[in-house]
Amino acid sequence: MIRKVLIANRGEIAVRIIAACREAGLATVAIHSEADREALHVRLADESVCIGPPYAKESYLNITSIIAAAEITGADAVHPGYGFLSENAQFAEVVQECGLTWIGPPPGAIRLMGDKATARRTVAARGVPVLPGSPEPLQTREQAVELAHSIGFPVILKASAGGGGKGMRVAHDARELRHAFDTARHEAERAFGVPDVYLEKYLTQPRHIEIQVIADRFGKVVALGERECSIQRRHQKLIEEAPSPVITPELRKAMGDAAAAAAKAVGYESAGTVEFLFQDGQFYFMEMNTRIQVEHPVTELVTGVDLVLEQLRVAQGERLSVTRTPKLSGHAMEFRINAEDPETFAPSPGTVSFLALPGGPGVRLDTHLYRGYRIPPYYDSLIAKLIVYGSDRQEVLRRARRALSMFVVEGIKTTIPLHLKILEDGDFKAGNLSTRFMDRFLSSR
Ligand code: MV4
């Protein structure tokens, strides 16, 4: 049994994990950098350990220091949150080798899904739809050109070791593809140390729709419906919602079955997300995220399942508390609020001099902000997630306008005004979304 959980993260997700631990009756250990001494997760945890200097490389990514903190405090489990070391298979292995419980998927599943070409091949072998493309990384330019001619342009090259949009190149003809092949390999080598790239048919106007799954070590995998995540800028999501305005019960069932098959193919355990591209009524596997995600609250609100509590249960060898896909109820939308200039997206660290938080019917706020908090410049700029719930999408939009307009943060710039403008957009209001939405929205300002 777990008694004390070390949270290998910071910010709002560290606070969210402390909340689940407290509900489960587990003690908590916060780790923090020198820049995070005054952080809320440090204040709220039962104990805390400073693990190093401000730069993440020397603190939140420092495996040796984190393991030492677990040993010093007698923690018996580690929750990695998202980002940082959450999808580092080696960290998961070290945690387990030190006799600690890893609150996450098996290292082997992390490693396999981390190699995007292998992930694609593995799930395709279990009948999960993938776009036409290369099962193995491509060895030569001419191999790429030949394949592209057989599946038809446009095509996209993706780094096998990549994900989240890094090292991608689109080509509309053979000449572009030859050039893209060299630059994509070069970029992949530089970013990930591995030059391997694979090729897929390119979809021009897809939606990004993902399925939340949760799995226990008895081989039970439950799909918890979809999240529509098409509102993104530079591969950073801004708004997510559930259910998707375009997913029918039949599609939800088919996507849930496909996501569960993908999870089973790698012996998955814990919470995970299977990402799909969706266009013209068809869905295609894109990649699997082997972590709890930023947008998990959207699913919690429409399913009633506490995903972090489920992670704690299954990590202790217990069975899932949900045994089948629940009926989705109502509608939820998450607005990611960043400490950034809403026009230029330049980071805006600094001290929060005044703070008024929204509440009321249908509002959940996941945040580590407090009045007087100094937002450090070293980490990502997410400062709050406003998650709005209602009986249908229209009610959520009304509640979102109300809650965003009653959210006052002074001393720094935030993206709250940007969200209020998106809420006025005709396509957004109508649910006409695609991964192209933000390009169009920003260029028409
Ligand atoms: C694609 C695609 C179109 N066709 N693959 C972006 C992140 C990475 N995981 C894969 N991505 C894409 N893959 C094919 N075959 C378009 C994207 C894409 C995208 C996907 C989801 C959300 C936003 C996006 C923005 C640009 C491109």
DSSP 71-137: HHHT--EEE--SSTTTT-HHHHHHHHHTTPEESSS-HHHHHHHHSHHHHHHHHHTTT----SB-SS-
At 192, list the tokens.
């990930």
Cβ atoms of 67 and 87 within 8 Å: the answer is no
Instruction: Name the residue at shortest CA distance from atom 6 of ligand 1.
Output: 165
Distance between CA atoms of residues 207 and 169, nearest Å:
18
- DSSP assignment of 222-262 equals EEEEEEEEEEEETTEEEEEEES-TT--HHHHHHHHHHHHHH
Same domain, 97 and 167: no
β-partners of residue 283 are 278
- Residues 252, 291, 313, 336: which is the catalytic one? 291
Q: Which atom of ligand 1 is nearest to the CA of 287?
A: 9
Residue 340: partners with Cβ closer than 8 Å, 6 or more residues away: 346, 347, 348, 381, 413, 414, 415
pLDDT at 167: 77
Instruction: Give 316-356 pLDDT, tens digit per residue.
Output: 999 999 999 999 999 999 999 999 999 999 999 999 999 99
Last residue of a domain, one of 57, 82, 103: 103
Say how many Å lie between the CA of residue 333 and the centre of ligand 1: 21
Same domain, 136 and 270: no
Instruction: Give 112-160 pLDDT, tens digit per residue.
Output: 999 999 999 999 999 999 999 999 999 999 999 999 999 999 999 999 9
Same domain, 196 and 220: no
Last residue of a domain, one of 153, 170, 201: 201
The kind and range of the H/E element at 180 are helix 174-192
Instruction: Name the residue at shortest CA distance from atom 24 of ligand 1.
Output: 435
Q: 286: Cβ below 6 Å to ligand 1?
A: yes
Angle at 206 between CA 142 and CA 341, to 5 degrees: 105
Same domain, 21 and 64: yes
Examine residue 93 and state whether it is found in any structural domain, yes or no: yes
Same domain, 41 and 72: yes
Examine residue 24 and state whether it is found in any structural domain, yes or no: yes
Last residue of a domain, one of 201, 218, 233: 201
Examine residue 76 and state whether it is found in any structural domain, yes or no: yes
* Amino acid (1-letter code) at residue 35: A
Same domain, 353 and 388: yes
Same domain, 169 and 215: no
Q: Which of 256, 250, 242 is nearest to 392 (CA)?
A: 242
Residue 45 CA: distances (Å) to CA of 41, 49, 100, 389: 6, 10, 19, 28
Is residue 291 annotated as part of the catalytic site, yes or no? Answer: yes
Instruction: Give 278-319 pLDDT, tens digit per residue.
Output: 999 999 999 999 999 999 999 999 999 999 999 999 999 999
Token look-up 């947008």 returns: 295
At 354, list the tokens.
């005044």
pLDDT at 235: 94
At 151, list the tokens.
């599946």
Strand 197-201 relative to strand 169-171: parallel, antiparallel, unpaired?
Answer: unpaired
pLDDT at 413: 98
pLDDT at 180: 96
Examine residue 256 and state whether it is found in any structural domain, yes or no: yes
Q: 390: Cβ below 6 Å to ligand 1?
A: no
Instruction: Give 45-70 pLDDT, tens digit per residue.
Output: 999 999 999 999 999 999 999 999 99
Examine residue 112 and state whether it is found in any structural domain, yes or no: no
Cβ atoms of 144 and 185 within 8 Å: the answer is no
Q: Is 401 exposed, middle or buried (0-12, 13-18, 19+ CB in 10 A)?
A: middle
Examine residue 124 and state whether it is found in any structural domain, yes or no: no
Same domain, 287 and 398: yes
pLDDT at 165: 75
The CATH number of the domain where 391 resides is what?
A: 3.30.470.20
Same domain, 327 and 376: yes
Same domain, 345 and 279: yes
With H, G, I as helix, E, B as strand and everything else as coil, classify residue 163. Answer: strand
The CATH number of the domain where 58 resides is what?
A: 3.40.50.20
Q: Which of 217, 215, 180 is nearest to 197 (CA)?
A: 180
Distance between CA atoms of residues 363 and 315, nearest Å:
30
- CA 234, distance to chain mean position in Å, is 14
Say how many Å lie between the CA of residue 277 and the centre of ligand 1: 7
At 124, list the tokens.
């395709």
Q: Which of 45, 10, 286, 288 is nearest to 168 (CA)?
A: 286
Distance between CA atoms of residues 355 and 358, nearest Å:
10
Pocket residue to mutate for ligand 1, from 113, 156, 439, most atoms within 8 A of Cβ: 156
Cβ atoms of 131 and 113 within 8 Å: the answer is no
Q: 202: Cβ below 6 Å to ligand 1?
A: yes
Q: What is the mean pLDDT of residues 378-386?
A: 98
pLDDT tops 80 at residue 416: yes
Residue 43: partners with Cβ closer than 8 Å, 6 or more residues away: none
Res. 162 pLDDT band, cuts 50 70 90: confident
Residue 141 structural domain:
132-201
Cβ atoms of 306 and 366 within 8 Å: the answer is no
> Rounded to the nearest 10 degrees, what angle do helices 63-73 and 89-97 cross at?
30
pTM: 0.98
Angle at 410 between CA 420 and CA 341, to 5 degrees: 55
Longest dimension (CA), the chain: 61
> Rounded to the nearest 10 degrees, what angle do helices 107-114 and 89-97 cross at?
170
Distance between CA atoms of residues 340 and 14, nearest Å:
21
Same domain, 195 and 177: yes
Same domain, 253 and 368: yes
Q: Which atom of ligand 1 is nearest to the CA of 284?
A: 15
Look at the chain and report how many structural domains it folds into: 3
**Percentage of residues in the chain having pLDDT higher than 90:** 98
